[in-house]
Amino acid sequence: MENKFKDIENYGIIGNLETCALIGSDGSIDWMCLPYLESPSIFAAILDNKRGGHFAIQPVSKFSSFQAYIKETNILQTTFNTPFGMVTITDFMPVNLYDGTKHHRTLYRKVKCIEGHIRLELSFKPRFNYAKDVPDFKLIEGGATCSFEDNELFLNTVVPLKIKEDEITSQFNMRKDMEIWFVLQYNQQDHYSPEYPPDYGKFNEKLDALQEYWQNWTYKCHKICILEDIWHDIIARSGLVLKLLANPESGAIAAAATTSLPECTGGVRNWDYRYAWIRDSAYTIQALFHLEHVQESQDYMRWINSIIKQGTHPSDIRIMYPLHKDEAVEEQMLEYLSGYKQSSPVRIGNAAVNQKQLDIYGELINAIYDTTRYGKDISDKTWEFIKNFVDYICEVWNTKDRGIWEIRGEPLHYVHSKLMCWVAVDRGIKIAKFKKTETSCNWEETKNEIETAILEKGFNKELNSFVQSFDSGAIDATTLLIPRMGLLPYDDPRVQGTIEAVMKNLMTEKGLVYRYKNEDGLPGAEGCFLICSFWLVDSLALSGRLDEAISIFVNVLQLMSPLGLLAEEIDPKTGKLLGNFPQAFSHIGLVNSALYIGIARGRKHKGPKPQGFKHSVPYKKEKFKIKK
């Protein structure tokens, strides 16, 4: 069975809240790590279609296919049409909720013939440790096992299997209404043992129970929804994606489910995003809160609190963390893998973990501050950490760093980093007022110093725009966040000048926005960053420029995958998705942009109004069609 590279948008995702699997529209599982999202892969065909390993089920004859989720769930269905009949594969993983009961790490594949008669083939080709190790295969009653060291996979099915060289294969016939299950269970030393023999009679009950779980969890509109009605399903899907990337045990949310999917096909900008970044904090909490996922918002805040309590000094705080304490972050290159569509190197871990990025302190404190805006209290112990962070920022804010984009060149005085230093001090002062307590005497002075530096050195009068770094001429999309953080209001001429500069220099005709276009110390090109497009939508909406905001928003939605999933970037020439997938920050940006459009239109919403926003503007309701 030949496994060709597929476009990123031709993948769906399922998961169990510990790990995820990417399943192609051809019925092949091409990416899965076990036991956790950031653990070594067992299927990695998406990074090397010959060596990586896969678990494929598809018709022997020529076929066409399409994918869809069961409504309001993370249960994926792939339907194949052939000249002889139609068959559907339903893929799902029961979730692990850490509720005190034992759970098996299991993936179910239900194959059902809808009409006609059809012959299918199976190729089960796991490769442990990022395709470095070929397991030992063994046929057993009712299936097969494959093992390497202390890792073992059980594949259970009623279909006869055979071992062919370095994989397990089978061909089998199906007729209308016939149903066959394939059950993949993972066992690791000191973890739960698999269910054997499996009870096939209860599998549909498991499917029904999982469907009920997801449909009860997913976002529902109550009375008047702040989100545009026709965008509801798209927003709900974003919530479901965020849930898959979240770990209920730690509360952390991974930036993406994959590593090394390139920012430009054939290029070298290939990074591992299977970790939780601190800078996503406030945006994530806001998105989860407005999707009414209060528990997930609280879990995420619990993770934030665990981070700030880890270091004995503020400088000990890292920019990113693994979802599990025992997983590594240090960067390695897997030179033996070809990379997605020959995009190498393939990286695991992320060297940016050791970078100095001053903005993370502002992100942390802003996330904590936002909980007070949503009515939550802050403990005295957390307040002590906040004071230490703000005192630290007062000492180091005027030093250089690598910035939000994690530039691997020389450190600079990045305007966004200074902005977030200002946010750290500003929010520290506001939290002190909320708690009715005293602050250090130099906080107000430092806040004013940072503001003066940003306004004088970070604003280029010739360009009439804020710029990437002090005294530079580089336009950067992060400058759109200045009013959102409350430094200036949206109607300030300098803010409007910055919006115009971003649109003129970084935006494509479709409203896609590059991060920046100046040199950054790395070879090769990259696509347009989706989060930057959403920042532009936010800025336009909260400036009262709703026609432009909605036009760009709809244009971006047109470029989602058929399943409503977003990667990190989009190729502006082809409209293809680029980068790691699905990307949490892109989906968070989508949710918040829909929220801001609703707020700007004067629709009722929970929580406070956005920073820098003054009032809504009248807007005529129209129907916008999303082409899928």
Mean pLDDT of 506-513: 93
Across 297-305, average pLDDT: 83
Taking 70 as the threshold, does the pLDDT of residue 112 lie above it? yes
**Which pLDDT band holds residue 615 (cuts at 50, 70, 90)?**
low
Bridge partners for 147 per DSSP: 136, 152
Closest by CA position to 589, among listed 622, 553, 625: 553
Q: Percent of the chain scored above 90 by pLDDT?
A: 65
DSSP code at position 457:
H
Tens of pLDDT, residue by residue over 265-285, are: 998 999 999 999 988 776 787
Phi/psi zone of residue 396: left (φ > 0), alpha (ψ -120 to 50 degrees), beta? alpha
Q: Does 316 score more than 90 pLDDT?
A: no
Find out whether the peptide bond into 345 is cis, omega within 30 degrees of 0.
yes
Between 520 and 204, the more confident residue is 204
Phi, psi (degrees; rounded to nearest 5) at 569: -135, 175
**pLDDT confidence of residue 622:** 46
State whether residue 588 is helix, strand or coil.
Answer: helix
Give the least confident one: 181-190, 265-274, 534-543: 181-190
- The answer regarding whether domain 229-329+337-600 maps to CATH 1.50.10.10 reads yes
* pLDDT given for residue 514 in this prediction: 96
* Band of pLDDT at residue 256, cut at 50, 70 and 90: very high
Nearest-10 Cα torsion for 430, 435, 439, 445: 10
Question: Mean pLDDT across the chain, nearest whole number?
Answer: 88
Q: What is the pLDDT of residue 292?
A: 79
**20-29, 55-64, 372-381, 586-595: range with lowest mean pLDDT:** 372-381
SS3 214: helix
Give me the pLDDT at residue 628, please.
40
330-338 long-range Cβ contacts below 8 angstroms, 24+ apart? 331/272, 334/130, 334/132, 336/51, 336/131, 336/132, 337/44, 337/47, 337/48, 337/51, 337/52, 337/130, 337/131, 338/47, 338/48, 338/49, 338/50, 338/51
The confidence band for 584, taking pLDDT boundaries of 50, 70 and 90, is: very high
pLDDT score at 97: 67
* Helix or strand holding residue 549 (H, E): helix 546-557
The domains of the chain are located at 8-194, 229-329+337-600
State the DSSP code for 525: -
Q: What is the pLDDT of residues 152-164, one digit of tens each?
A: 999 999 999 999 9
CATH architecture of 8-194: Distorted Sandwich (2.70)
Q: Does the pLDDT at position 329 exceed 90? A: no
Q: Look at residue 379 and tell me whether its pLDDT is greater than 80.
A: yes
Which two tokens mark 520? 């950054």
pLDDT digits (tens, 9 = 90+) for 440-497: 779 999 999 999 999 999 999 999 999 999 999 999 999 999 999 999 999 999 999 9
pLDDT for res 608: 60
Span 395-407, mean pLDDT? Answer: 92
Residue 576 confidence (pLDDT) = 95
